[in-house]
Structure 1
Amino acid sequence: MTSPATSTRTSRGPGFALGRFLSNNGALAGLVVLAVALSILSPSFLSTRNLLNVGVQAAVVAVLAFGVTFVIVAGGIDLSVGSVAALSGMVGAWLATTAGLPGVVALLLGLATGAAAGLVNGLLVSFGRLPAFIATLAMLSIARGLTLVVSQGSPVATPDVISALGANLGPYLPVPLLVMLLFFVIASVVLNRTYTGRAMYAIGGNEEAARLSGINVRGQQLAIYALSGLFAAVAGMLLAGRLSSAGPQAANGYELDAIAAVVIGGASLSGGVGRASGTLIGALVLAVLRNGLNLLGVSPFWQQVVIGVVIALAVLLDTLRRRGR
């Protein structure tokens, strides 16, 4: 006679294991399938130079997205990261080039600008009780406007310390790729090894329950949005370094790519679910998709359509997965 445990193991065979793996690692499976398909369609896709280029293209969005991951896991949203990245890069470049401050000091003040913008978002959400969508949408406009005010609508050259962030260490080691990996590790540690990381999951899962369990929800929200702003500032420095100038329209629309990377990576927009590794894979999916479409000669207009479809499918799969649970 078959025991219930044996019956359960039998019914949960290889098919169940495969389904569970794909449910938990759908973005990784999609990235592998996409890479295989593009390597067949375009022989140059797997070249070392092109793969490094994909990594560099993913770096800015990935660092932005790591910060957004914190906010989304905590049940919020941050629409301001693209504008905050542009403002931080502009402040760093302007302080060094126009105000004459040492490059390192200008870089640190640029990073502090991003953290301060995130802190304002946190104040509006936690103490002002504004919906995160409205608070960060307002910051999107404020930060972009301040970028235009500081720059007077013109690009500003970056100092050597910022330009170095877009350079290479040797012929095959781009600095943006190293920065992306460093901040992946930092984001993983914050999410998995710190009190603030555990608080993010608790707040995103059930804010009231988190408050009743003794978590200082308002204080943690301040920290979460400040971290998002700081990561956005780093991304802004990376972008300015790659271009050797800070532009008033830099990172325009990048907030949507960052949110898309988080969602494609398996995070839930309802909060409580998300991983730094998933976000990294999501950013790589977007970069590989754009790179592959460019190699195949697809019009940029159609590229936007394809990426929009991918984002919609990712959100749809997340909704179906939550319903299944």
Structure 2
Amino acid sequence: MSDHFSFDSTLQQQSIPETDEIEGLLRTYRPTPGQSLYEQVATNTWMKSKANKRYGTNFHLSGFIKKINLRWALGLIATLLMVVMFMAFTPQGRSFAQAISRYFQINPSDHATEVLSLTPMPTNDPGYPYNLYTLDAAQAEALAGFEVKELTGLPEGWVFNGSSYNPDLQQVKLFYSLPSANSTPSQRVEAIYLYVSQQKGAFEDFNWGECPTGTIFKVQVNNWLAELSDGSVWVTYTEPTPGVTREWTCERADPGATMVLRWEETTLKYQISVDQFFADESVILGQSDLIDLAENMQ
């Protein structure tokens, strides 16, 4: 008998279980993982092994996570700073910021109900031109430093609305009016506007001297020589050309609808102007009426 050992012969002598026998053994004994496997899983050894291969044996998972969080935080801060600088220092950024801000504005609803009152809201502003004449005659006189004359003998219905003071011209201006028949305290409608100016400064230069005869009238106010224009009078001129004298043109319209009377007494200059485009014939002022008002000022 030979002592030579044969592996093939040994395998042939061993009995290999069938599949059914293996399944029966597993059902009978129900094998479970050992305690060491649970400990290995609990300590995440497979993650450490993988990280050690990539980052080295000195790798620590908690430190790695902290480094990742720090990188994310620094990157986010840098991004925010760039966005803020873009919006603050570039036209495109400011436009973009304004467009974004519109989404955060609260707009009233299209279906909101608006309550309207039929009663006019009270106001202290009388409106133009009344809000330009807020002084009485005594207040204007105190500012001007000279005696201010007022109109007397106005027909019934005329109203004194107030006065103003212009320090540049040292001028006091009184404002009178004749309300229309359909005028109300809340809705004033004037038929005639009349202004009386008294000043130390020079008259406005109308260039009346260029107007033909019959446009500007020379009249007398008490003992003073005066000028009276009847109608809307304005003077224009052509631009001068070499060798050609400037040509003045005087035009006149709406006689009777507007008039200006002005004169000078020693150191003061006076002017009365009236606008009555919409007045009835029965209340309209004529040239003689204007001169009478001037002569009876006190």
User: Normalising by structure 2, what TM-score?
Assistant: 0.18
RCO higher in 1 or 2 (8 Å CA, sep ≥ 6)?
Answer: 1
Larger-gyration structure (1/2): 2
Higher helix share: 1
Higher strand share: 2
